[in-house]
Amino acid sequence: MHTAETKPTPTELHFEPSVLETYYAPDAADRTVEGVVELMTGLRESMQAVRSDWRTAAMGDRQLLEQLAAPHVERINVSRRKDHPEEPDIAVSKISENFLLGLAEPDWEGQMPRDTSEEELRRWEDFKNEHPDVADNLEDWYMYHAKLHELRNDTGLMERFDEEYRGEQMAATRAAAEFLRAQDRKDEISGRMASLRAKAVKMGRPLTAGERRKITAWQKQLSEVDDNIDIPANSSKEKLLEEITRLQVREWKRQLDGGLLMTEQMQTIIDETLPAITRGEPTLFVGETGGAKTAMAEYMVQTYFGVNPEFISAYGDVNSYQLMGKQELREENGASVSEFVPGPIIRAMEQGTPLILDEINAMPPELLKRLNKIMQLRPGDRFTVQEDSGKVVEVQPGFCIIATANEKSKRYKGVDDLSVEFQNRFGANINRVRYPDYDKGYDEYPRENAQLAMATVATQRGELPPDIDEGEFENFVRAARLSQQIFSGINGEGYNQFIDTEKMVDNRPGLEETVLAPRTMVDILHKVTGSYGTVSLKRACQTFLDGIKNPNDRQVMHHILEYHDLLPEEMLGDERI
């Protein structure tokens, strides 16, 4: 096989009709079962590299993406005009960049040479020259594709391949590849549903009956994908599980890097609340601290609306001017001119952008009263801005309010109960976001906490980093879940040994202020993985313990960490409070 530095170009080969076939003909090493597996791996990796490199190069060039996507958008509009002639066309300028990337990406396989004629080879060279950022990987991909195409005609090799591929290692590889294809299929179906919902949001309307039927059909397909995975009957269960687990971890890591680990609880809440949000109705997420309420709100806005939300944190000295805007003086031709600078609420109304009110029950009561009217607004309504001399603003499609709130408890200082009147503004759209594994007993494995922890630390191959001990990692996951259950008041059988029954919080024993919440777990694990081996998990847990100021919490957390062997030896037995 020629290297990338020495392989001849089609020009040097003078485009002889048989040369391309000869150049890409499989060699002796390729004509083995192992060779076929290697070619298949190379085919997949090179195609992934082409797509990744192209997206990296194209990202940020809005003008280019709109130009490339315009023909596809026009075809979409032509189709929509047939089914919904009353609706306006989708403007390419309004489409989010992420969606544009999908529309604008070239049809790489469709550009492959169809034969070895000089005309086809020249066209292929010209196409690669148009995409210099992916040319090398694209050429490699074509090579793998051409070799595998020819090897399929080798009946004897294919028979040996089928026979040996069902051995332990090969069977696991095949099943893992099948699982990966299933994941891709699920991503594709989920993407279709997200795009359809996002389109309705962009147009400022609810889903049509036809669109709802499509989503129902896609949801059925989604549930059937895993059932269609072909797993060889004689494959090794251990090896198969190992390969599939690695792929699952990579998917969890991709989700967390994208802003939210999609646990069953999160997916359920999103499915239940998204229709209301797209209609412009206010939604409230209530839960304990660090449980990903805000992360879910931001993820929903960015994924289904394709924009970054306007954001208001209720903690601190927030006031009406910070919410609505205020008059400011500026110089104009030597004179001072008063100009209204809109705040996040007015910007969200005018631009048709979702507004996130974070920790809303920490907001002063007088501001909550001001929000009562705003909570009732829907796209198309008009709102009078007192701070802007009574100017009237029309609420644009896409505006909605997503609020988060901590549970009412003595543990959250500055947090008050929301009035019944204010809660009624959310109607049925109040959703409780609980800690992972909230419905699991003490003896059950905390699977969702484990998913979060693995997604945080996993290598690109989907494996635990070598500098994290597997036993300590498992203990950390269990300790985190235990603290979450105690903090949220789930003190059933098996938990009592960790609880200080003399200290009551909200009329129950438990932790007052401290918890290894999902957000805290991620912070601790990032400290370990980002230290290049200089901070062990036990040392990071000790640092966390040292930072606990509440004496009762420090004693309980010390007991939990010590019980799970998560403290350095010098800290064992030390229950200083």
pLDDT, one tens digit per residue, over 124-151 is 899 999 989 888 889 888 888 888 888 8
For residues 521 and 446, give the distance between their C-alpha atoms in angstroms, rounded to a whole number: 14
Read off the tokens for 283: 């939604």
CA distances to 76, 253, 491 from 458, in Å: 40, 7, 32
DSSP per position, 353-384: --EEEETGGGS-HHHHHHHHHHTT--TT-EEE
Q: 90 φ, ψ to 5°? A: -80, 125
3-state secondary structure of 409: coil
Check: CB of residue 280 under 8 Å from CB of residue 287.
no
Identity of residue 106: P
Q: What one-letter code names the amino acid at 234?
A: N
Tell me the backbone φ, ψ of residue 474, rounded to 5 degrees.
-60, -40
As a whole number of angstroms, the distance between CA 171 and CA 33 comes to 13
Rounded Cα distance between 312 and 159, Å, is: 64
Rg of the chain over Cα atoms, rounded to whole angstroms, equals 29
> How are the residues of the chain apportioned to helix, strand and coil, as percentages rounded to the nearest 5?
55, 10, 35
Buried b / exposed e along 67-89 (16+ C-beta atoms within 10 A)? ebbeeebeebeeeeeeeeeeeee
The label of the residue with tokens 């332990």 reads: 168
SS3 (DSSP) at 392: strand
Pairing of strands 283-287, 430-433: parallel
Closest by Cα among 459, 455, 187, 435 to 303: 187
Say how far apart CA 346 and CA 550 lie, in whole Å.
Answer: 41
- Please report, as a single letter, which amino acid is at residue 366: E
Query: 448: left (phi > 0), else alpha (psi -120 to 50), else beta?
Result: alpha
Predicted pLDDT of residue 16: 40
pLDDT for position 19: 40
- Assigned token pair, 42: 């190379």
Tokens of 285: 């997420």
Per-residue pLDDT, 297: 94
Report the relative pairing of strands 391-394 and 401-406 from DSSP bridges.
unpaired
pLDDT of residue 206: 84
Planar angle of CA 253, 463, 455, nearest 5 degrees: 25
Query: Strand, coil or helix: what is 312?
Result: strand
What residues in the chain have per-residue pLDDT under 70? 1-23, 80, 84, 96, 98-99, 164-180, 226-244, 315-317, 408-417, 490-509, 531-534, 570-577
Token readout for 407 is: 């549970």
CA distance 153 to 150: 6
Contact 169, 234 (CB under 8 A): no
Q: Do the Cβ atoms of 202 and 269 come closer than 8 Å?
A: no
pTM for the structure as a whole: 0.59
**How many residues are there in the chain?**
577
3-state secondary structure of 430: strand
| CB-based contact 182:229 (threshold 8 Å) | yes
For residue 7, what pLDDT is reported? 38
DSSP code, position 154 = -
508-509/504-505 β-pairing: antiparallel
- pLDDT given for residue 222 in this prediction: 79
Residue 95: which of 305, 298, 396 has the closest Cα? Answer: 305
By the 8 A CB rule, do 273 and 286 touch? no
- Asked if residues 354 and 348 have their Cβ atoms less than 8 Å apart, the reply is yes
pLDDT of residue 15: 37
Instruction: Compute the distance between CA of residue 179 and CA of residue 229 in angstroms, rounded to an integer.
Output: 7
